[in-house]
Homo-oligomer: A and B are copies of this chain.
């Protein structure tokens, strides 16, 4: 449910280019606006066995997936190919490669609130080694694409995230399925509710603001209606989570 206070008319938009829907609110006079959105959501996810033979070469990828191989505003995979090849090129399967990318980012990039801004990209983060969830996701995506693994940005709500906030992670296309990864290791992979997925944050903003707007604050909260058992990664049973 959506409350717009004070009320302004809105409309829903969709695009053939993605599954994302846009909600457009047109505010034609200066005001202090409060947007409230609540929803009860069924989280449907699968836990899938990731086997050795999961690598889809470029010759097997569907037309809709190819775009996720190419560099984008915040994921300059074209600049990271030697580095990605050196760090992860020898690792066996796609799934193991992306797990290794996730671990490498977690081990090498420090999560520091406020250390980056809306212009920070994977090319910065790979060297400067600090950032927030968005930066961790962009770097993960860029490294996957540099290894010819399609990858996309995923933004959503994360159950039990501390402190509660929007979250960003990424999906890699493995064995014909989009498998989710979180290089910050802050969220339960089976406790995510998708807001949008896209090539990177440029196309998957939680809000795109045009005109002169000053943000005050955002309050995000998320609770489970049923008992929740966090998905735990077990290196012996290679399982991936897909939505």
Contacts and interface: CB of A to CB of B under 8 A. Distances in A.
Interface in A38-80: 58-59, 62-64, 66-67, 69-73, 76, 78-80
Contact of A15 (B63, B78, B86, B208): B63
Contacts of A72: 72-73, 202
B26 A59 contact: yes
A130 interface: yes
Given A59-B24, A76-B73, A82 B17 contact: no
A171 to B, nearest CB: 16
A79 B17 contact: no
Interface residues on A, range: 35 or more
Contacts of A16: 16-17, 64
A177 B123 CA distance: 35
Interface string A115-128: 00011000100111
A13 B73 CA distance: 25
A96 interface: no
A202 B202 CA distance: 15
Contact of A70 (B63, B66, B202): B202
Nearest to A28: B59
Interface in A1-39: 13-18, 22, 24, 26
Interface of A: 13-18, 22, 24, 26, 58-59, 62-64, 66-67, 69-73, 76, 78-80, 82-83, 86, 108, 110, 118-119, 123, 126-130, 148, 202-203, 205, 208, 210
